[in-house]
Amino acid sequence: MCTLEVEMERYEDSKLYQIRHSAAHIMAQAVMEMFPGEARIAIGPPIENGFYYDFELPRSLTPEDLEAIEKRMRQIIGANQPFVREEVSAEQARQQFADQPYKIELIEGLEKGGLDEYGNLLKEKPVISFYRDGPFVDLCRGPHVESTGKLNPGALKLLNIAGAYWRGDEKNKMLQRIYGTAWEKPDDLKAHLDRLEEARKRDHRKLGKELGLFYFSDDVGPGLPLFAPKGEMVRHLMEEYVRETQTRYGYQHVWTGHMVKEDLYRRSGHYDNYRDVMFPPMVDEDITLRLKPMNCPSHMTLYNEMGVHSYRELPLRFSEFATLYRYEKRGELSGLARVRALTQDDCHIFCLPEQIEAEFTLALKLIQEVLGTYKFTDYRMRLSLRGTEGKYVQDDEKWTQATAALKSALDANHVAYEAVEGEAAFYGPKADFLAKDVLGREWQLSTIQVDFIQPARLGCEYMGEDGQTHTPVVLHRAVTGSTERFLAVLIEHFAGAFPVWLSPVQAMVIPIADRHVAYARDVQQKLKDAGIRSEVDESSERMQAKIRHAQLQKIPYMLVIGDKEQEAGAVAVRLRTGEDLKAKPLAEFIQLARETIDKKE
RNA sequence: GCCCACAUAGCUCAGUGGUAGAGCAUCCCCUUGGUAAGGGGAAGGUCAUGGGUUCAAAUCCCAUUGUGGGCUCCA
Interface confidence (ipTM) of the complex: 0.93
What is the rounded average pLDDT of the residues A328-348? 92
Residue A285 lies in a domain: no
Whether A558 CB is under 7 Å from strand B: yes
Co-location of A18 and A152 in the same domain: yes
Total domain count, chain A: 3
pLDDT band at A357 (very low <50, low <70, confident <90, very high): confident
Decide if A430 is catalytic: yes
Q: Which residue in A20, A25, A476, A493 is the catalytic one?
A: A476
* Residue A397's CATH number: 3.30.930.10
- Would you call A234 helix, strand, or coil by DSSP? helix
Co-location of A527 and A394 in the same domain: no
pLDDT band at A315 (very low <50, low <70, confident <90, very high): very high
Q: Which residues from the 395-414 window of protein chain A have CB within 7 angstroms of nucleic acid chain B? A: none
Residue A50 has pLDDT above 50, yes or no: yes
Co-location of A574 and A481 in the same domain: no
Co-location of A429 and A570 in the same domain: no
Q: How many residues does chain A have?
A: 601
Segment A461-494, tens digit of pLDDT: 999 999 999 999 999 999 999 999 999 999 999 9
Residue A222 lies in a domain: no
* Residue A132's CATH number: 3.30.980.10
Q: Rounded to 5 degrees, what angle do the CA atoms A583, A584, A585 make?
A: 130
Segment A148-159, tens digit of pLDDT: 999 999 999 999
Residues A157, A180 contacting (CB under 8 angstroms): yes
Whether A329 CB is under 7 Å from strand B: yes
Neighbouring CB atoms inside 10 A of A310's CB total 11
Residue A200 lies in a domain: no
pLDDT value, residue A104: 92
Co-location of A377 and A462 in the same domain: yes
- Taking Cα atoms as reference points, which of A535, A591, A525 lies closest to residue A558? A535
- A4, A70, A129, A306 from A29: Cα distances, Å: 45, 11, 18, 69
Checking DSSP bridges between strand A226-227 and strand A214-215, what pairing results, if any? antiparallel
pLDDT value, residue A13: 82
Got the DSSP string for A161-190? Answer: EEEEEGGG-TTSPEEEEEEEEE-SSHHHHH
Spacing of C-alpha A476 from chain mean position: 19
Co-location of A470 and A540 in the same domain: no
Co-location of A463 and A518 in the same domain: no
What is the rounded average pLDDT of the residues A216-223? 90
Decide if A460 is catalytic: no
State, as a whole number of angstroms, the distance between the CA of A388 and the C1' of B58.
57
- Would you call A506 helix, strand, or coil by DSSP? coil
Supply the mean pLDDT for chain A: 90
Q: Determine the Cα–Cα distance for residues A202 and A552; give it in Å rounded to an integer.
A: 13
Prior bond of A585 cis (ω within 30°) = no
Q: Determine the Cα–Cα distance for residues A475 and A296; give it in Å rounded to an integer.
A: 10
pLDDT value, residue A219: 87
pLDDT band at A165 (very low <50, low <70, confident <90, very high): very high
What's the domain range around A323?
233-256+308-493
What is the rounded average pLDDT of the residues A495-513? 96
Share of chain A above pLDDT 90, in %: 71
What is the rounded average pLDDT of the residues A176-191? 94
Residue A2 has pLDDT above 90, yes or no: no
Q: In terms of C-beta density within 10 A (0-12 exposed, 13-18 middle, 19 or more buried), how is residue A348 classed?
A: buried
In terms of pLDDT, which residue wins out, A6 or A70?
Answer: A70
- Taking Cα atoms as reference points, which of A535, A526, A549, A546 lies closest to residue A507? A535
pLDDT value, residue A438: 86
Co-location of A524 and A486 in the same domain: no
What is the rounded average pLDDT of the residues A427-446? 88
Q: Which range, of A108-122, A191-205, A293-307, A469-483, averages the lowest pLDDT?
A: A108-122
Amino acid in the structure at residue A339: V
Co-location of A364 and A510 in the same domain: no
DSSP A317: E
Whether A13 CB is under 7 Å from strand B: no
For residue A4, give every residue at least 6 positions away whose Cβ sits within 8 Å of its Cβ, in sequence order, or none.
Answer: none
Whether A46 CB is under 7 Å from strand B: yes
pLDDT band at A391 (very low <50, low <70, confident <90, very high): low
Q: Determine the Cα–Cα distance for residues A116 and A99; give it in Å rounded to an integer.
A: 20
Q: Determine the Cα–Cα distance for residues A476 and A449; give it in Å rounded to an integer.
A: 5
pLDDT band at A139 (very low <50, low <70, confident <90, very high): very high
- Protein CB footprint (7 Å) on chain B nucleotides: 1-5, 11-12, 25-26, 29-38, 65-75
State, as a whole number of angstroms, the distance between the CA of A163 and the C1' of B20.
36
